[in-house]
Structure 1
Amino acid sequence: MVANQIMLDARIYEEMQATIAALRARVTELEYAERDRHQAETALRQSEELFRTTFEQAAVGINFSTLSGRFTHFNQRWCEIVGYDEEELWELTSQDITYLEDADQELELLEKLLAGHIPNYSVEKRFIRSDRSFVWVHLTASLMRSPSGEPRYIISVVQDISARKLAEAERQQAEQQLQQKATDLEEALRELQQTQTQLVQSEKMSSLGQLVAGVAHEINNPVNFIYGNLNYANDYIQDLLGLLQLYQEAMPNPPDTIETAIAAIDLDFLIEDLPKLFVSMRVGAERIREIIASLRTFSRLDEAEFKTVDLHEGIDSTLMILQNRLKPKAQQFNIRVVKDYDKLPAVQCFPGQLNQVFMNILCNALDALEEEIETGAWKSRPSTCKPTIWITTRAVSDTHIAIHIRDNGPGIPEDVQLQLFDPFFTTKPVGKGTGLGMSISYQIVTEKHNGSLQCISQLGEGAEFIITIPIQQIGVKD
């Protein structure tokens, strides 16, 4: 009985010892757990403090927002960047302060972010500050998700880049100003070269005009002397021929010496041909006088004042000078000139300069037609098609007249038409064209006469130049 009791007590004691050991182990375990929890809490507090310090003292703006854009957390730097205080920002969304022109760009990126197509995005955009100015920022946005993967909120890191944007704008402005100055310098150089060329060309034309006028004057005097005495010479010859006829009637059988002389000079042919010779001399003298008149009209190149003139005289004088080019050469076509002159009023202009324009356009038309003829290309045209230049003048209004010079040559390609009036542009071989004729003509018409010079052409259908100028120049009196 006692033994049983002792054994029972021993078993109870062992159980108690085991329980005590288990309790001690549990206590130790709880002590370790408490220590770990305390350490974890301490670490968490330190981590939270570090995060809070980093969040608040960051050099960049940081904000948390809902998926709809309403701010839930933000640091002081974010307030400084956008210029709002905390109370104002709680009532605003990101969309409220986004510059309107930048909204669509970020909205597209935000949709991709929420759809999971991109993990984050960066964008340069503008926010509207509280004072209604705007600030340039570089924004990087990331999406935070729940453990189940559902989107929860958006974290945005924002850096103020206004200073960089201002520097870029100033640099771009400086580059544009520099480029503009370079362009201005190039334009000034081009105008200087053009002016220099025009001065040289004007000096040449002025010298040519003086030379032509001088030659015309020197020729005009003896020609007038010859022309004026042809009538008297013809009368004298007719008197002598009449007297000779009387001698022949009075002496039908002259001496042998006279008969020999008559046969030697072929008197009958002389009597018949001498009047014809005088007619030819008269026609030649009149032709010389016409040429001299044309030269004197054309040589008005050095006149520095406006004159009121008949433009038809200038056109006719130019055609007279070009008459040799209009004549058919060996086995070649004759180039016709068809004139259709309207009744024009006298026009106030620089006549010599307009004559130069007529000369340039007509020479180009002749060059085009002659090239077609010389290369044989003209032979492919119908036999009824003749190389022709049409000159038409019209009073287009009470204040303006127009001169049309058209040819049926090969025409001018469109790319050439775009450069036709550019200085130094020419399609002619080296040595045959300076590229200044049409450029100078354009300036004479547009700048000197406040008119217009237009080219209309299609390949295979010839070219037409239309000169339109006012009848009366503004600010110039007759």
Structure 2
Amino acid sequence: MNLKTKIWLTVATIVLLFSFFTLYYFPDQQAKLLLRNYNNEVQHLANTVALGVKIAITEQNFEGVQTAMEFVKSDPRLEFISMLQTDTTWNEAHTSYTTTEKLFKTYPENNPYSPAAVSDENIIVKRSPFESSLMSGAILLGFSTDVINSSVRKIKITSLLVSGVVFCIGIIIGFWLSKTISDPVLALRNAAIRVSEGDFSARVKNNSGDEIGELGKSFNQMVEYLAITTRKLKRANLTLASTNDTLKNTVQELKVTQDQLVQKEKMASLGELTAGIAHEIQNPLNFVNNFSETNQELIEEMVQELQHGDTAEAILLANNIRANEERILTHGKRADSIVKGMLQHSRASTGIKEPVNINALADEYLRLSYHGIRAKDKSFNAKIKTKFDKNIGTIEVIPDDVARVLLNLYNNAFYSILEKKKLLHDNYVPVIEVTTKDLQDKIEISVKDNGLGIPEKIHDKIFQPFFTTKPTGQGTGLGLSLSYDIITKGHGGGLKVNTQEGEYAEFIIQLPYAVKGELA
């Protein structure tokens, strides 16, 4: 809907509303007012005649009764005037009575209206009772409504004429508004379309001194400024084009550098993990070696027993050998699992989600991180508390990525309590708490330490890439940034921190359930 149509609709609406008022509402209200006043006037006349009749009857002046009734005979609006007499008849026991009205006197004498006559569209009938010691009754007065109807017709004709005048004025105003507002605005719109298509020669011709004329002048100034600015931008684009290739090369170099830094962060965490893995893998290897030596001794004994023909003892020794072989196999698989985990951590993630026992994963990497710290500092000890929710089943995640996040949080926690231990010595007991919770639609992993905490001024920076509080050479500043991306972008979860400087730091991971099953 264009502006011209809106202007005409507005003018038409105003004219129609005014016409409705002048043609319907105003005449209707005037007719009601005239009719109400006319009713009051007729009732007043009926009351006046009734009062005169009452006075005349009380004074036994019957000529006065005639005079009172003739008070309205000369009124051209009079249709009839009747004097009714009310008779009261009691029953024989004088316990009840009935009243009847009969026509006592009327004018004109051939009055066709009965004592029960009521008002209609042609006549207004009013009743005024009177009562004296000699007679009781009522005056019934009827007046024609011709005067009222004539006045209403005149009002409607006047309203129709006024509506016609307003309609003509509305048409004139509509044409004037269209000429002075719509046409200049449409010209401005057309010029704006040409400018949007790149034609900066478009101008608006409007010599009026009103706001629309000022708008046209401002538009012309704007187009001139745009033309000049466009020419400058074209020259600037030529300059930018010459440096675009250089910027592309720089971006490519930055991307390569970033990939190298990410790989460096992964290798740094792998280095910290290696010491813990070495400690973990040593136990199953010791078991394998010990049981292998024992089996060699048992085999020699079994050979001797077979040579002596003692098959029962040989079978017993064979059973012991089988049991030891099962232990060797179990611990060999344990060592194999640890080596595979290290290899998976060192290479790029597959990005494939699979069901994982989060409790087992959290516990395994907690021990690996702790042994890694202990490998660097044999004197270091910490109190480790775990509270794993047994209701947590398997959850579909990318195992390598979640393991990398847990390892990073554990390493940061151990680093914090180790630094605080260096400051407080024996007055401080390092504690790390790892908790998991089943929140129905998601699981929560909390890693809390009572170390140095995080200063409030850097709370909003800890998840930024390359931000670190560690000394130069001890951290890339990518650990928490990568962890945040893995949890939020890779798994649709959340990673937040609660901390108080000098007291504690708690990192909370939330991961939504994809597949919820029984614990392995």
Higher relative contact order, chain-length normalized (CA < 8 Å, sep 6+): 2
Q: TM-score, structure 2 length as denominator?
A: 0.42
